Amino acid sequence: MTDTIFALASGAGRAAIAVLRLSGAGCGTVLQRLAGPLPQPRMASLRRLRAPASGEVLDEALVLWFPGPRSYTGEDSAELHLHGGRAVLEGVSAALLDCGARPAEPGEFTRRAFLNNRLDLTAAEGIADLIDAETAAQRRQALRQAGGALAERYAGWATRLTRLLAHQEAAIEFAEDGLPNSLEDEMRAAAAALAAEIRRHLDDGGRGERLREGLWAAILGAPNAGKSSLLNALAGREAAIVSATAGTTRDVVEVRLELGGVPVLLADTAGLRETADEIEAEGVRRARRRAEEADLVIAVFAADVPPDAGTLAMAAPGTVVVANKADLAPAPAEIGGVAPLAVSARSGEGLDALREALAAAATARAGLSAEAGLTRPRHRAALTEAAAWLDEAVAAPLPELASEALRAAVRSLGRLTGRVGVEDVLDVVFGDFCIGK
């Protein structure tokens, strides 16, 4: 990590301002060759940037200097706030190359921050999520994780585990030195309590992962129930073809929505019915598969037609049931034991109430919880493994086997924050970052 890297940290394309970030041991030297004497730390200084070889003025820019370790990466770092024209960026980038700097790899700034103990892996992932956040709820979850909420909880568990391991090792090594006989019983009780605490954390219904990735929702119902019209009404645009001809929708049509701060991929599907048409039958098969995969199902039937058996089967607790075409006939009081929402996609009647119901359902499945939760499958896998090893420690017939199980649990927790056994996850974590981060 002795080389100096640089990358565009602002958006690509023509703009008033473009920001180039630099980091590395030679950052100060590079900056001096380009802009003259180093400015006061963390104070913007207006400088003329010159090409080192020719002395040509490349731009008049604001220069900021962040000497390590008080920088994002923990290394000497700098920012060049340039005019955003392509020629300026190309000229300054060429000058940086002449000075010995190189373009950064994706996520390399944050990777250096991790390696310099400025943050742990969960915080690094929170920063990546913050960059990708599309909704306010995603932003809040990412900020909480980037601020160290998960790291604090996991570090507490790791500290307790390490203490348990130390006591267990002491009980083995100094068994003849008069240590209390209750040490091993205390270890087993504490290990069981920690395993239960981890499992309570795991038993969150996948809310954090769903909020981060977004929910899958599917609109299902009989042909001509008005599913496509409802999708268009919720999307606010003509996303799906609407026709009085039954069976018009034969494939899955998707739109992205935000419901209660949760990103949702809403799918219109083919009408559910038995058909001899090969293409329509494939559409029905895909509709049923999407229903099986969906986090949220919206069962739609036409208020002016008696519900068919297929719609009745979908009207179960947890499903949002909609009586569409309420402008043509009143909705029944209940269907399949569930009170339907009376809606008219044509007139707009009941759409606000439907949006509120969908937002409530989305936040119930993936809303921001009061505590920092799991946001990635790798978190869940490591914690599940740690809890299993704690169970092994509790049930171990020999002290030595209990000690090995505790040591394995420590390694599992360590992989979460990146302080133990991290080599195999670094590339995965930082490879998803954008270039300038």
Q: Is 192 exposed, middle or buried (0-12, 13-18, 19+ CB in 10 A)?
A: middle
| Per-residue tokens: 256 | 């992205």
244 annotated among ligand-binding-site residues: yes
128 annotated among ligand-binding-site residues: no
118 annotated among ligand-binding-site residues: yes
309 annotated among ligand-binding-site residues: no
SS3 225: coil
Q: What is the dihedral of CA 72, 75, 81, 82, to 10 degrees?
A: -130
93 annotated among ligand-binding-site residues: no
Bridge partners for 82 per DSSP: 18
CA distance 356 to 101: 53
393 annotated among ligand-binding-site residues: no
CA distance 50 to 36: 9
254 annotated among ligand-binding-site residues: no
Q: Are strands 102-103 and 77-84 parallel, antiparallel or unpaired?
A: unpaired
Instruction: Quote the strand ranges of 260-382, DSSP E.
Output: 262-268, 296-302, 320-324, 341-342
226 annotated among ligand-binding-site residues: yes
CB of 169 closer than 8 Å to CB of 403: yes
412 annotated among ligand-binding-site residues: no
Helices (H), 174-275: 183-202, 207-213, 227-235
29 annotated among ligand-binding-site residues: no
243 annotated among ligand-binding-site residues: yes
| Per-residue tokens: 38 | 């180093």
Distances (CA, A) of 262 to 11, 83, 159, 245, 370: 25, 36, 34, 34, 16
275 annotated among ligand-binding-site residues: no
147 annotated among ligand-binding-site residues: no
Which amino acid, 391?
D
| Per-residue tokens: 167 | 């006591």
33 annotated among ligand-binding-site residues: no
248 annotated among ligand-binding-site residues: yes
249 annotated among ligand-binding-site residues: yes
Q: Are strands 215-221 and 253-259 parallel, antiparallel or unpaired?
A: unpaired
CB of 235 closer than 8 Å to CB of 253: no
61 annotated among ligand-binding-site residues: no
235 annotated among ligand-binding-site residues: no
In whole angstroms, what separates CA 278 from the centre of its chain?
A: 39
CA angle 386–391–395, rounded 5-degree value: 145
2 annotated among ligand-binding-site residues: no
229 annotated among ligand-binding-site residues: yes
| Per-residue tokens: 67 | 């000497």
Q: Are strands 15-23 and 5-8 parallel, antiparallel or unpaired?
A: antiparallel
346 annotated among ligand-binding-site residues: yes
325 annotated among ligand-binding-site residues: yes
DSSP 5: E
CB of 73 closer than 8 Å to CB of 93: no
Q: Which residues are annotated as a binding site?
A: 21, 79, 118, 224-229, 243-249, 268-271, 324-327, 344-346, 437
Q: Which residues are annotated as a binding site for (6S)-5-formyl-5,6,7,8-tetrahydrofolate?
A: 21, 79, 118, 437
Q: Which residues are annotated as a binding site for Mg(2+)?
A: 228, 249
Q: Which residues are annotated as a binding site for GTP?
A: 224-229, 243-249, 268-271, 324-327, 344-346
